[in-house]
Amino acid sequence: MKAAIVVFPGSNREVDAKVALKQATGKDPVMVWHRDTSLPKVDLVLVPGGFSYGDYLRCGAIAANSPVLREVKARADAGMAVIGICNGFQIVTEAGLLPGVLLRNANLKFVCRNVGLRVETSGSRFTAGYKKGQVLSVPVAHHDGNYFADPRTLDELEAEDRIAFRYCGPEGRLDSIYNPNGSIRHIAGILNKKRNVLGLMPHPENAIEPMHGSTDGKALFKSMVEAVS
Amino acid sequence: MSVPKKITPEIVAEHGLSADEYKLVLEIMGREPSMTELGIFSVMWSEHCSYKSSRVHLKKLPTKAPWVIQGPGENAGVIDIGDGQAAVFKMESHNHPSFIEPYQGAATGVGGIMRDVFTMGARPIANLNALRFGEPSDPKTRHLVSGVVAGIGGYGNCMGVPTVGGEVNFHASYNGNILVNAMTVGLADSDKIFYSAAAGIGNPVIYVGAKTGRDGIHGATMASAEFTEDSEEKRPTVQVGDPFTEKLLLEACLELMATDAIVAIQDMGAAGLTSSSVEMSSKGGLGIELDLDKVPVRETHMTAYEIMLSESQERMLMVLKPEAMDEARAIFDKWELDFAEIGVLTDTGHLVLKKDGEVAADMPVAPLVEKAPLYERPWIPTPLQAEIAARDVPAPNDLLAALKTMIGSADLASRRWVWEQYDHLVMGQTAQRPGGDAAVIRLPGISKALAMTSDCTPRYVFADPKRGGAQAVAETWRNLTAVGAKPLAITDNMNFGNPQRPEIMGQFALAIEGMAEACKALDYPVVSGNVSLYNETNGKGILPTPTIGGVGVMADVGRMATVAFKAKGEKVLVLGETRGWLGQSIFLREIQGQEEGAPPPVDLGAERRIGDFVRGLIEAGEVVTCHDVSDGGLLVAVAEMAMAGGIGATLTTPAGAVEAHGFWFGEDQARYVIAVPAKAAEATEAKAAAAGVPVMTLGETGGDALSLDGRAAKLAELRSEHEAFLPRLMGAA
């Protein structure tokens, strides 16, 4: 599998993502600079975490209008896999690849800690390596991860099995005490209609080796590789 | 435009120069200075930039060791960590700005210290911060805590550098003058360190980064004066940070540093363009001529005076090889940052500034630096306090009840509320997160790791500056040792009151003496530092606070100890001697309401012997659970280990111990608590005895409670006490 990572001014988890992709594929992903107007031929584009354009205007809003994102969108429409993590989730949402919006955390503070994540569907190339209902431990690190959409959109997401992950307790129970940012219906990650675009706030790339305290993020990268090979 | 202004004694005083200092200015200049020249003298000779009150004492600190590549005097210290790699680090204060405008003050403190580190060619890999606030009940405290923590997070998180450690204390002496000390550790190739000494007459002087505005003018001078009630009027002297620009500047500089273009580089921190241009030229023994009309500005009609004294953030000054200009310009264009050739190196030995076709300043560089005032200020030693014997301190009815009160108190409560607002995981190399003895960051691609910590016990320093100074150094050494790292060097951030008061100068002089002794005994030199004086409001000084930042290295991050109990049925041992020292202890303060007595003695020989022994056990893989004993004593240490691991312990006060409350809450130094498998305990004890290390069994791990001599407290209960303080104070869940 060939993968690319899009790098914006202010991206800061692109190296973490690169390490995770390399671990899964054995190859270095291509790093694509935001000013580039064309993408190399790849099977997957990862939009990494960080503070693209300093989060000015609105998280992800400026990056969503960068030249390279037009190209990412066109390829995604044609079926290529795209994963947006944290700021990357904000960017692909702002770009219209995913519905809804990411608001400021309910308590207005940045939050960095491991959270429980319940796998809501194994029916995607990103989550095929997990069992539905499986509980993962993966860190979050964000200021604006409070997912919101109107009830109709949310019902549609649920009806179409497009909620990938929800914040939960250690046994998989849903409760606001386990939700780090106040996101609606405890949503942590969602898929698009075609199931080839995933956006999520937590950082699976920071849970890929024993030193991280959890290796639960590994299966996500592994399933993406297996899906195309 | 520029109407020559007559320099009056009032103007001189407003610039923080004494009459004698101004006389020296006249002597150097041979004429009356222009306003711009006066401004430059003012900031260069400020306490903040010239160290005029502290230099004679700082010279006593050991700064050399075979592994020291660069000691104090550059932007940051540099040590060799083997394999062709170097650690670059420094700590710096941003106290006054943070009190006036907590968010921006703290944020730009973090930005400034990161710039100091990447100026040397290092990529920042970790941030730490040591914060001291007033009493929790002071009306300003919540506002300051909230703003400072958000500011540190706001800057560091955006930069993508993990904030992994530090300390937070509360004390009434900081009510009107908080301390915000920020430390950055960076990683560089040991043969690719960049310095600030200019070289090559005719070489271009390049300005890169953000544009210059009117913010922060006279920040360095403000940092060199006492606070009064109307300090809030000084808000315009606080700089405004833009971490996004700094992130671009970091990436652009590191990209440029990978080429061969740079002759010298210096960040524009305190005193901005003034100190950077003066430092570069003075270190190179050259002159420098700047055309200020070429400086990128973000406001119109800025004068030479304003441009030279602005402390706008995220700027760098470089001397480049002329043939590398195009390559360098392309890199800064890629990162969309200003890149302006603003001057040239000359052979005149003068700093010459041109603005609007006129010469705004023409002054000799060497005397500006070398003739800077130097004061041997009078000082008196701090009167020592009486020792307090444990038997003279009333025993509490219930040791566990006292423990609960203590671990829920302002100084011992969990700092989770703070560090969860910092991204401590970005870069993916965090091997030990906040909450342990020291943070541990693995180096990319290998198993080697750096450990880092910051420590100071200001109440000890106040009671006995020399002992307190030694203790601060020893505690960082111990914290690094407790995770299994070999301590290598320190950075010091000296926060004191008004040096013109002999008792304050006495605290300073003696703290340095104590620090120097500890550094020597532990082979642990000072490689960088910062002095912040005049930390007073309306004549009331802070507790003397020489914050120490320590850095150590471990060969294999797989052989690392953490504080958490790992398994039940393990033996809990204390290494080091427990005599029950309650003077200046947290127990005495929180339970008895007394802040007095002599602080615990620091036996540097024992410190080293016991520490080396503990590190040996960790390196051999025999110990993976270890915690240094400090604030609150043994019982607090064991409780922290139990809470971190979610495993309780059953403890018994050893027969023949001093008074039980002295034994469990005394703050004797040079001690570690370890937990080892029961069958290995005997061998460990034998080894300790052979190494001359006192060892005592405290009990055994297991269960969901902490039991002491038959009484018990549930871990869940302890944890809720421990976690409650900050969320309750800050009114947040």
pLDDT of A30-42, one tens digit each? 999 998 888 999 9
Q: What angle do CA B509, B511, B517 make, to 5 degrees?
A: 105
φ/ψ of B407, rounded to 5, equals: -75, -10
The mean pLDDT of B210-226, rounded to a whole number, is 75
Q: Does the pLDDT value for residue B244 go beyond 90?
A: yes
> Higher-confidence residue: A182 or B240?
A182
Q: Which of B21-35, B266-280, B320-334, B380-394 has the lowest mean pLDDT?
A: B266-280
At B534 the pLDDT is 93
Cβ-Cβ contacts under 8 Å, B254 against chain A: none
Give the tens place of pLDDT for each residue, B142-177. Answer: 999 999 999 999 999 999 999 999 999 999 999 999
Determine the pLDDT at residue B238. 77
**First vs last C-alpha separation in chain B:** 57
* B557–A contact, CB cutoff 8 A: yes
Q: What are the structural domains, with CATH classification, of chain A?
A: 3-228 (3.40.50.880)
Residue B733 has pLDDT above 60, yes or no: no
Question: Which candidate from B336, B422, B428 shows the least CB-CB separation from A19?
Answer: B428
A104 CB within 8 Å of a chain B CB: no
Q: What integer is the mean pLDDT of B365-384?
A: 95
Taking the C-alpha atoms of residue B600 and residue B130, their distance in angstroms, rounded to an integer, is: 22
Return the structure tokens found at B102: 């907590």
- Dump pLDDT digits (tens) for B329-343: 999 999 999 999 999
Residue-wise pLDDT for B414-444, tens only, equals 999 999 999 999 999 999 999 999 999 999 9
Per-residue pLDDT at B1: 38
CA A195, CA A216: separation in Å to the nearest integer?
21
Please state, in angstroms and rounded to a whole number, the distance separating the CA atoms of residues A224 and A218.
Answer: 10
Given this model, what pLDDT does residue A229 score? 64
Catalytic residue (one of A86, A120, A142, A168): A86
State residue B105's pLDDT score. Answer: 95
pLDDT band at residue B540 under the 50/70/90 scheme: confident
* Full-model pTM: 0.96
Contacts of B150 in chain A (CB under 8 A): 109-110
**Mean pLDDT, residues B237-243:** 85
| Distance (Å, whole) CA B353 – CA B365 | 12
pLDDT tier for residue A20 given thresholds of 50, 70 and 90: very high
Share of chain B above pLDDT 90, in %: 92
Inform me whether the pLDDT recorded for B732 exceeds 60: no
Tell me the chain B residues in contact with residue A212 when contact means C-beta distances shorter than 8 Å: 425, 428
Query: Is B424 in Cβ contact with A109 (below 8 Å)?
Result: no
Q: Is the pLDDT of residue B305 over 90?
A: yes
**Taking a C-beta distance cutoff of 8 angstroms, is the pair A144, A59 a contact?**
yes
Per-residue pLDDT for B582 more than 80?
A: yes
pLDDT higher than threshold 80 for residue B88:
yes
Which ipTM score applies to this complex? 0.97
**B425 and A112: CB-CB below 8 Å?**
yes
The rounded percent of chain B whose pLDDT value lies above 70 is 96
Shortest CA gap A14–chain B (Å): 9
pLDDT band for position A215 (cuts 50, 70, 90): very high
Most A CBs within 10 Å: which of B149, B250, B416, B426, as the mutation test of the A interface?
A: B426
B284 touches chain A (CB under 8 A): no
B441-491 pLDDT per residue, tens? 999 999 999 999 999 999 999 999 999 999 999 999 999 999 999 999 999
pLDDT exceeds cutoff 70 at B312: yes
pLDDT at residue B232, rounded to an integer: 57
Using the predicted structure, report yes or no on whether residue B206 has a pLDDT greater than 70: yes
Flag if B428 and A54 touch (Cβ within 8 Å).
no
Query: Residue A225 and residue B192: Cα distance in Å, rounded?
Result: 38
Cα–Cα distance measured from residue B353 to residue B289, given in angstroms and rounded to the nearest whole number: 6
Find the CB nearest B158 among A16, A54, A139.
A54
The three-state (H, E, C) secondary structure of chain A, written as one string:
CCEEEEECCCECCHHHHHHHHHHHHCCCCEEEECCCCCCCCCCEEEECCECHHHHCCCCCCCHHHCHHHHHHHHHHHCCCEEEEECHHHHHHHHCCCCCCEEECCCCCCCEEEEEEEEECCCCCCCCCCCCCCCEEEEEEEECCCEEECCHHHHHHHHHCCCEEEEEECCCCCCCHHHCCCCCHHHEEEEECCCCCEEEECCCHHHCCEHHHCECCCHHHHHHHHHHHC
Q: How confident is the model at residue B616 (pLDDT cuts 50, 70, 90)?
A: very high
pLDDT in tens, B170-198: 999 999 999 999 999 999 999 999 999 99
The pLDDT of residue A125 is above 90? yes
pLDDT band at B223 (very low <50, low <70, confident <90, very high): low
Distances (CA, A) of A170 to A135, A187, B514: 7, 16, 49
